[in-house]
């Protein structure tokens, strides 16, 4: 045990002082230039040598701050929500040039013409309007400047295209320049709907015919729009910056993510540093072993698929049509699905074998981003603001990197008593201590210094039960073992390297508190300062048939809070050192995310006499303390109480209660 404690201290020391073997990859400051490193930006200002949200001025149309507009096409190639502004109805009406208007048309119904604008992110707006073209004439000789829209409605929405706020309902319009003001608020979507004027509606009613029939006889619709306009002031609710895919030159392991940011506030039109200014930085990352995360396919003449490059896919291949309608030879028609054939796109897939998915968002500098090893790196940065006039300027960002320890390390886990499960994944009883077997195998190519230790992250405190190495596998004594809350660390008796690449098997026991749990693992070198290398789920050998580090938990019980236990039935906060504090232990099960937990104490008549927030907690064993006091710090009178632990549920709060006494 003494050896284990020394080993644990050594590991902590190495992580705390690692700097010689760890090299920061940096963007901004003395690193790569922000202005030359982006593949996509939404309302990002790069003029200061840093990146920050664009500050929208009230005299400049908001559309002019955005670029790369696209048509609102649900099937657009590569569209990602929130990363591209879109228009349903035509992009020519947002270019700031009233001479590029949409010509009057006699096609369609005048009471159904709609334009919808998606700014990609919520922006502080106060005005929505439009105006007629500055020049040109209708076919009947009327100047387009005078061809006003007779009736319309206008709407805005912050989050979606369902919850619209109406800002205008005009049934008789005579203005060429229309602008509707509203209280400044975040808006992502804006919609204009052309409606029938009262005169048009009366004409249709008198003739008892449809509006389509009225306007489909060569008569151009009344009302021409030269451009739409949105005006606002302030910074967007979020601004988006996505980097290029960077080639780091060699495969590396990734460590913690850091950044330097400055909170700013606009004062009299000038940004000034303000420590109290609200704002947040959010960073996601992904890494891969090749130059791109997408795989592009073309159909063959046999209906199968073949991989093609991105340029061929986008510029040469065509989308397949949904169906073809032909005569059936019997006087009717039949619709058949078009056949797959060469020259047609066969879809895009994410290259999950060679690329991470985007990491869990990091909101604090110094976090580990959980990337597996790779040579290529891409970042997605969101700058958030909850204040129209306050924001964060991101000056620089860097990630710890160090050379890989092996080309790749694979791992798979199964129950010890069921290494080849029928359904291909280990299934365990939730909350019960279960014996697992985990196999690791390293691959070495041109580089990789090797490793001599590994870590398995668990949801409870694990128990080490055995280690095997070699071919064939033989039991060996580890150099050290650390069983800690949430992880098992094992130092191997001999090093794994290209010249001594032994398979590894570890047997351990652990509890699972989630419906799906991944035993995230990593290998590291206990003798130097390099970064650990993540283990990837993959097939290691025939002895285990899961090909994954994930297990599934099943349970017949549905309670989220279980096994609420107290260190004593009576707390005596009199300062004598005996039962002054009540130790409370419980287990949370099957939580999809961290939840807010709260300790509450009730008198027997139902009155709440004490409450305390105990923080955000996840599935697993939890421990908190109570000192017999209420919220104001006063001691509760002696007596019997009900102590409850409450967590937030999806529909309602969940609570479990036990009796406890207070005495002096």
Banded model confidence at residue 219, pLDDT cuts 50, 70, 90: low
Q: Mind listing the domains of the chain with CATH numbers? A: 23-40+239-290+354-403 (2.60.120), 56-233 (2.60.120.260), 294-350 (no CATH), 408-554 (2.60.40), 561-662 (2.60.40.4070)
Mean pLDDT for the stretch of residues 513-518: 82
pLDDT digits (tens, 9 = 90+) for 491-505: 999 999 999 999 999
Mean of pLDDT over the chain: 85
pLDDT of residue 490 exceeding 50, the answer is: yes
Determine the Cα–Cα distance for residues 108 and 171; give it in Å rounded to an integer.
Answer: 20
Mean pLDDT for the stretch of residues 409-429: 92
Higher pLDDT, 5 or 611: 611
* pLDDT of res. 6: 36
Banded model confidence at residue 40, pLDDT cuts 50, 70, 90: very high
Determine the Cα–Cα distance for residues 255 and 405; give it in Å rounded to an integer.
Answer: 13
Banded model confidence at residue 2, pLDDT cuts 50, 70, 90: very low
Most confident of 81-95, 190-204, 359-373: 359-373
State the pTM of this model: 0.78
* pLDDT of res. 322: 52
Determine the Cα–Cα distance for residues 336 and 339; give it in Å rounded to an integer.
Answer: 9
- Taking only Cα atoms into account, the Rg of the chain, rounded to an integer number of angstroms, comes to 32
Sign of the C-alpha dihedral, residues 179, 182, 184, 187?
Answer: negative
Q: Which long-range contacts (CB under 8 A, 24 or more apart) does 133-137 make?
A: 133/98, 133/99, 133/101, 133/224, 133/225, 133/226, 134/98, 134/99, 134/226, 135/98, 135/99, 136/99, 136/101
pLDDT of residue 277 exceeding 50, the answer is: yes
Mean pLDDT for the stretch of residues 553-569: 75
Helices (H), 216-368: 310-315
3-state secondary structure of 214: helix
* pLDDT of res. 337: 53
Cis-peptide into 472, omega within 30 deg: yes
pLDDT of residue 295 exceeding 60, the answer is: yes
Banded model confidence at residue 631, pLDDT cuts 50, 70, 90: confident
pLDDT of residue 234 exceeding 90, the answer is: yes
Q: What is the DSSP letter of 426?
A: E
* pLDDT of res. 344: 86
* pLDDT of res. 75: 62
Q: Which of 316-320, 562-566, 649-653 has the lowest mean pLDDT?
A: 649-653
pLDDT of residue 14 exceeding 50, the answer is: no
Mean pLDDT for the stretch of residues 332-338: 52
Locate 230 and state its tokens.
Answer: 């949105």
**Residue corresponding to tokens 């003029």:** 47
pLDDT of residue 18 exceeding 50, the answer is: no
pLDDT digits (tens, 9 = 90+) for 562-579: 778 888 888 888 888 788
pLDDT of residue 661 exceeding 80, the answer is: yes
Higher pLDDT, 448 or 558: 448
Given phi > 0 = left and psi -120 to 50 = alpha, else beta, which region is 112?
alpha
* pLDDT of res. 338: 58
Q: Give the distance, in angstroms, between the CA of residue 130 and the centroid of all CA atoms in the same chain.
A: 36
């Amino acid at each position: 045990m003494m050896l284990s404690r020394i080993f644990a201290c050594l590991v902590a020391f190495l992580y705390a002082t690692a700097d010689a073997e760890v090299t920061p990859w940096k963007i901004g400051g003395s690193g790569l230039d922000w202005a030359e490193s982006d593949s996509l930006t939404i309302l990002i200002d790069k003029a200061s040598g840093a990146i920050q949200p664009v500050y929208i001025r009230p005299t400049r149309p908001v559309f002019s701050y955005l670029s790369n507009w696209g048509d609102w096409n649900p099937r657009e190639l590569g569209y990602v929500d929130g990363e591209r502004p879109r228009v349903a109805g035509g992009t020519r009406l947002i270019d700031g040039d009233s001479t590029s208007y949409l010509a009057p048309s006699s096609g369609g119904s005048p009471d159904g013409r709609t334009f919808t604008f998606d700014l990609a992110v919520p922006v502080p707006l106060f005005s929505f309007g439009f105006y007629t073209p500055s020049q040109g004439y209708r076919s009947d000789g009327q100047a387009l400047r005078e061809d006003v829209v007779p009736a319309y409605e206008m709407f805005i929405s912050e989050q979606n295209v369902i919850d619209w706020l109406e800002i205008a309902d005009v049934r008789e319009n005579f203005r060429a320049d229309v602008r509707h003001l509203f209280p400044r608020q975040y808006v992502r979507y804006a919609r204009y709907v052309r409606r029938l004027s009262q005169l048009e509606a009366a004409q249709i009613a008198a003739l008892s015919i449809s509006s389509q029939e009225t306007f489909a006889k060569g008569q151009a619709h009344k009302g021409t729009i030269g451009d739409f306009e949105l005006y606002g002031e302030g910074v967007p609710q979020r601004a988006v910056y996505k980097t290029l895919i960077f080639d780091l030159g060699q495969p590396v392991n990734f460590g913690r993510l850091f950044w330097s940011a400055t909170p700013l506030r606009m004062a009299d039109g000038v940004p000034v540093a303000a420590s109290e200014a609200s704002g947040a930085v959010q960073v996601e990352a992904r890494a891969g072993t090749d130059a791109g995360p997408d795989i592009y396919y073309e159909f063959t003449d046999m209906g199968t698929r073949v991989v093609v490059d991105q340029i061929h896919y986008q510029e040469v291949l065509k989308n397949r049509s949904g169906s073809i309608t032909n005569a059936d030879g019997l006087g009717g028609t039949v619709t058949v699905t078009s056949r797959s054939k060469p020259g047609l796109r066969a879809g895009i897939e994410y290259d999950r074998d060679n690329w991470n998915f985007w990491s869990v968002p990091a909101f604090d500098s110094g976090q580990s981003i959980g990337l597996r090893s790779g040579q290529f790196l891409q970042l997605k940065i969101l700058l958030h603001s909850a204040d129209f006039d306050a924001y964060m300027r991101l000056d620089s960002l860097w990630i710890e990197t160090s050379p890989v320890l092996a080309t790749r390390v694979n791992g798979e886990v199964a129950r010890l008593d069921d290494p080849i499960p029928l359904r291909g994944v280990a299934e365990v009883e939730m909350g019960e201590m279960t014996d697992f077997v985990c196999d690791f195998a390293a691959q070495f190519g041109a580089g990789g210094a090797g490793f001599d230790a590994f870590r398995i992250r668990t949801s409870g405190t694990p128990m080490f039960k055995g280690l095997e190495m070699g071919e064939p596998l033989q039991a060996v004594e580890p150099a050290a073992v650390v069983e800690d809350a949430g992880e098992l660390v094992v130092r191997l008796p001999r090093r794994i390297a290209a010249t001594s690449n032994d398979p590894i098997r570890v047997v351990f026991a652990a509890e699972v508190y989630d419906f799906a749990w991944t035993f995230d693992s990593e290998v590291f070198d206990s003798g130097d300062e390099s970064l650990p290398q993540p283990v990837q789920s993959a097939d290691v050998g025939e002895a285990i048939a899961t090909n994954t580090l994930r297990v599934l938990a099943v349970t017949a019980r549905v309670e989220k809070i279980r096994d609420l236990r107290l260190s004593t039935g009576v707390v005596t906060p009199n300062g004598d050192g005996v039962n002054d504090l009540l130790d409370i232990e419980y287990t949370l099960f099957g939580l999809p995310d961290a939840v807010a937990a709260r300790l509450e104490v009730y008198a027997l008549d139902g009155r709440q006499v004490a409450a305390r927030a105990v923080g955000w907690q996840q599935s697993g064993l939890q421990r908190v303390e109570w000192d017999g006091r209420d919220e104001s710090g006063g001691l509760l009178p002696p007596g019997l109480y009900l102590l409850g632990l409450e967590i937030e549920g999806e529909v309602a709060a969940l609570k479990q209660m036990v009796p406890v006494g207070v005495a002096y």
